[in-house]
């Protein structure tokens, strides 16, 4: 699988997964989630997916400080309804990283390792996302605004592609410009504080 080189430059998210540890899926339960994993899960790379990745990475850092976040022990609350806008994409991407899901998820083994009913939409919270630890009930509220603007050519190129009027060169240019914006969002760490607000 060939993909943009900058994917490999994005800082991974390190977690501890007790279920993976219990079943021997990873040594000592260590779980490393990279941006390419999120791209595979979502099926694409865009500012929304990049934002979900950053919100999770920075939110978990604030919530767990110097300790490894524990997958399956985090509740993900989403302010909007899951079928509204990109709420479903954001919520499911964050839940994937945190190892949780809606009611259809893994129910556990012997009363342990339950992953279900820990992704909740339509929640009355002050920001887009809330990550809450299940062991301490501590939480962080997070919002995201991709303040890095798209290249002005993107809109016209997208319209031509959707209308089946674009040349191969124009399609390639669109892809390049689209991913250049995602790259800036993920790699310009000095801009993260203005894009991801955590309270």
Q: What is the pLDDT of residues 93-123, one digit of tens each?
A: 999 999 999 999 999 999 999 999 999 999 9
- Mean pLDDT value across the chain: 97
Q: What DSSP character marks residue 28?
A: G
Residue closest to 69 by CA, chosen among 97, 50, 46, 96: 97
In this prediction the pTM is 0.96
Question: What confidence score (pLDDT) does residue 199 get?
Answer: 96
Question: What confidence score (pLDDT) does residue 129 get?
Answer: 98
Residue closest to 112 by CA, chosen among 82, 92, 134, 89: 134
Question: What confidence score (pLDDT) does residue 178 get?
Answer: 98
In the chain, where the domains are located: 5-146
Question: What confidence score (pLDDT) does residue 114 get?
Answer: 95
The pLDDT confidence band at residue 148, using thresholds 50, 70 and 90, is: very high
């Amino acid at each position: 699988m060939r993909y943009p080189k900058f994917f490999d430059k994005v800082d991974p998210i390190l977690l501890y997964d007790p279920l993976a540890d219990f079943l021997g899926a990873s040594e000592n339960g260590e779980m490393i989630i990279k941006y390419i994993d999120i791209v595979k899960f979502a099926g694409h790379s865009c500012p929304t997916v990049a934002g979900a990745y950053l919100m999770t990475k920075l939110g978990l850092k604030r919530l767990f400080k110097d300790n490894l976040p524990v997958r399956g022990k985090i509740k993900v609350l989403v302010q909007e309804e899951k079928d509204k806008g990109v709420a479903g994409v954001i919520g499911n991407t964050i839940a994937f990283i945190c190892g949780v899901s809606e009611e259809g998820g893994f129910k556990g083994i012997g009363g342990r390792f339950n992953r279900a009913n820990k992704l909740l939409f339509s929640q009355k919270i002050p920001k887009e996302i809330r990550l809450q630890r299940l062991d301490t009930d501590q939480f962080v509220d997070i919002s995201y605004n991709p303040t890095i603007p798209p290249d002005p050519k993107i809109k016209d190129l997208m319209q031509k592609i959707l209308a089946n009027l674009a040349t191969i060169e124009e399609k390639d240019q669109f892809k390049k410009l689209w991913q250049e914006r995602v790259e800036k969002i993920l790699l310009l760490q000095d801009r993260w504080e203005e894009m991801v607000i955590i309270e």
